[in-house]
């Protein structure tokens, strides 16, 4: 059996999987906002529930926002800022008295979809998160690709490719730069673009709903979004040439993306043919926690 925990900004979710991926237990609790010691205790409590169900000791897989710095071993780049600057892995291993494997949430999503999701069987898969932020991960033959800087797949903090004049220098990003892909393709980025063009303050789901009702302004906003997503993914294809790209996060539910974006990326892909498939996730919101469990596969 495999135990995984997904540490989110508002909730902490745990899952116990059988070796064949069967879900044996799922439970969750609210994330203690801004409280690092309480967060550790909450994870430990969920882990005890899974060990009770399993009837034996279990190592833990953990998906997190941000990642551990290879230089210091401390958390960095987490939007749950109380994690930053702490050695989360060592602290949890001490508390649990169990071994721990960690990956960021986008990597866990990618691993889940590569093992038994939309990317199952694909030699290379690129997992995309388009939600509150924009992240990514790379899986090769069902295993995560990691690098010396622990940032493989972090496409969201590259500049938007082939920008139009009105896309320069681009919105400011929380990382301190301007024009990052995340500022255009995240949910807040979609909402900001719609408000800039129309003056309407709508959240992403409302824009999608308006477009489905044939609202011309909302449809135009989505068309702009699709073109930006296509350019951004073309850059990934030109470098990685993945067999499959799987979308995750709140905006992955926009059905028109899967038909329109592959058509739009063709002029930007440096090839006479592009057979990369763009697919929705099989496990949806469950992919993050499932991927955390699969870290012990």
Band the pLDDT of 294: cuts 50, 70, 90.
very high
Examine the fold and report which residue of 73, 105, 137 is the final residue of a domain before the chain moves on.
Answer: 105
% the chain with pLDDT above 90: 91
How confident is the model over 57-72, as pLDDT tens digits?
A: 999 999 998 899 999 9
Domain contains 295: no
pLDDT of residue 81 exceeding 90: no
Domain contains 53: yes
Band the pLDDT of 285: cuts 50, 70, 90.
confident
Q: Are residues 124 and 221 in the same domain?
A: yes
Band the pLDDT of 77: cuts 50, 70, 90.
confident
Domain contains 290: no
Report yes or no: 138 and 123 within 8 Å, Cβ to Cβ: no
Domain contains 112: no
Q: Are residues 125 and 254 in the same domain?
A: yes
Domain contains 177: yes
Query: What is the number of domains present in the chain?
Result: 2
pLDDT of residue 219 exceeding 90: yes
CATH (domain of 34): 3.30.420.40
CB proximity list for 186: less than 8 A, separation 6 or greater: 130, 131, 132, 133, 134, 156
First-last CA distance in the chain: 9
Task: Quote the CA–CA distance of 238 and 269 in Å, as a whole number.
Answer: 6
% the chain with pLDDT above 70: 100
Q: What is the pLDDT of residue 112?
A: 96
Mean pLDDT within 257-271? 98
How confident is the model over 181-200, as pLDDT tens digits?
A: 999 999 999 999 999 999 99
Q: What is the pLDDT of residue 5?
A: 97
Q: What is the pLDDT of residue 273?
A: 95
Band the pLDDT of 180: cuts 50, 70, 90.
very high
How many other β-carbons are positioned within 10 Å of the β-carbon of residue 87? 15
Q: Are residues 136 and 69 in the same domain?
A: no
Q: Are residues 154 and 54 in the same domain?
A: no
Q: Are residues 134 and 264 in the same domain?
A: yes
Q: What is the pLDDT of residue 132?
A: 86
Q: What is the pLDDT of residue 80?
A: 84
CB proximity list for 262: less than 8 A, separation 6 or greater: 230, 274, 276, 277, 278
Q: Are residues 99 and 122 in the same domain?
A: no
Domain contains 292: no
Domain contains 90: yes
Q: What is the pLDDT of residue 3?
A: 98
Q: Are residues 131 and 201 in the same domain?
A: yes
How confident is the model over 244-263, as pLDDT tens digits?
A: 999 999 999 999 999 999 99
Q: Are residues 124 and 225 in the same domain?
A: yes
Q: Are residues 194 and 97 in the same domain?
A: no
In which domain, by residue range, is 166 found? 118-281
Band the pLDDT of 9: cuts 50, 70, 90.
confident
The better pLDDT of the pair 174, 85 is held by: 85
Q: Are residues 68 and 146 in the same domain?
A: no
Q: Are residues 123 and 74 in the same domain?
A: no
How confident is the model over 135-145, as pLDDT tens digits?
A: 999 999 999 99
Q: Are residues 146 and 19 in the same domain?
A: no
Is this model's pTM higher than 0.85 or not?
Answer: yes
Domain contains 167: yes
- Mind giving me the DSSP string for 177-230? -BSBHHHHHSHHHHHHHHHHHH-----HHHHHHHHHTT-HHHHHHHHHHHHHHH
């Amino acid at each position: 059996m495999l135990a995984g925990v997904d540490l989110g900004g508002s909730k902490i979710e745990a899952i116990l999987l059988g070796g064949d991926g069967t879900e044996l237990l799922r439970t969750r609790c609210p994330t203690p906002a801004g409280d690092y010691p309480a967060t550790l205790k909450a994870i430990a409590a969920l882990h005890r529930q899974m060990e009770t169900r399993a009837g034996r000791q279990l190592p833990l897989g953990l998906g997190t926002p941000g990642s551990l710095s290879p230089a210091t071993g401390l958390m960095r780049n987490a939007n749950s800022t109380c994690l930053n600057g702490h050695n989360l892995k060592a602290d949890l291993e001490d508390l649990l008295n169990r071994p721990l494997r960690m990956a960021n949430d986008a990597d866990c999503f990618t691993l889940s979809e590569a093992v038994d999701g939309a990317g199952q069987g694909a030699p290379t898969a690129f997992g995309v998160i388009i939600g509150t932020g924009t992240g990514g991960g790379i899986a090769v033959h069902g295993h995560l690709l990691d690098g010396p800087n622990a940032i493989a797949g972090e496409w969201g903090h590259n500049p938007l490719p082939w920008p139009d004049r009105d896309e320069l220098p681009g919105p400011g990003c929380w990382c301190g730069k301007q024009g990052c892909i995340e500022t255009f393709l995240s949910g807040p980025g979609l909402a900001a673009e719609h408000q800039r063009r129309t003056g309407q303050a709508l959240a992403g789901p409302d824009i999608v709903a308006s477009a489905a009702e044939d609202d011309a302004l909302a449809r135009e906003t989505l068309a702009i979004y699709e073109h930006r997503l296509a350019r951004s993914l073309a850059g990934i294809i030109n470098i990685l040439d993945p067999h499959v790209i799987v979308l995750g996060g709140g905006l992955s539910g926009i059905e028109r993306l899967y038909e329109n974006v592959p058509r739009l990326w063709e002029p930007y892909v440096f090839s006479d043919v592009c057979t990369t498939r763009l697919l929705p996730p099989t496990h949806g919101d469950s992919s993050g926690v499932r991927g955390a469990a699969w870290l012990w596969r």
